[in-house]
Amino acid sequence: MNRKKLYYSTNLQIIFKSANCNHCKDIAGEQQYDVILLCFSVDEPDSVESIESGWSPELRQHFCPGKPVVVVGTKIDLRHNEITKRELERRGKYPVNTFAGKACASRLHAEAYAECSTKTGEGLDDLLRIVTNIAEKADKERRKRRFYDCLRTWCACFRCCFRDNKYKLQTD
């Protein structure tokens, strides 16, 4: 099956560092990831329930435990579109507003909430800035954990060697 990959390229200024995000893409099926984006469409209120009851529990329990999550409201250009509003009203529904999106993110214990429109580009830089900051923070924590794991292992070996009298401390 030929799967279309989506690319978005931009330069961001993130806390005095420049980050070039040339390869932000859909990587379905790949195992390396730093941040999970749980997306819903603001013109489909049922999609909020779908991420809350289906996607979030599945990802957190089986595939991505411990990974930071960002909830993203997409298609925000359709929130005030008259045709979309009429169609939803006909079904007794309304577009998802920002407050409802933030409430969803809070219920899911997400790191952040963002909204964007790929059609107009609105919110994309903010989303990438949020994701980049969270990924950088997660990477720092991962490196710190790795360092302390190595330090703990080294200290355990060190204690073991002196306990077993393999080495003697030199005192002058």
pLDDT digits (tens, 9 = 90+) for 105-139: 999 899 999 999 988 889 988 888 888 888 888 77
Report pTM.
0.68
Say which residue, 98 or 161, is predicted with more confidence: 98
Percent of the chain with pLDDT over 70: 63
pLDDT score of 25: 44
Residue 128 CB partners (closer than 8 Å, separation 6+): 8, 10, 12, 21, 24
Nearest C-alpha neighbor of 34 from the set 69, 3, 7, 5: 69
- 94 pLDDT higher than 70: yes
For residue range 12-41, what is the model confidence (pLDDT) as tens digits? 444 444 444 444 444 455 456 678 888 899
Nearest C-alpha neighbor of 131 from the set 38, 40, 64, 37: 37
**Mean pLDDT across 76-103:** 93
Q: How do the domains of the chain map onto residue ranges? A: 7-163
pLDDT score of 95: 93
7-163: CATH class? alpha beta
pLDDT score of 165: 53
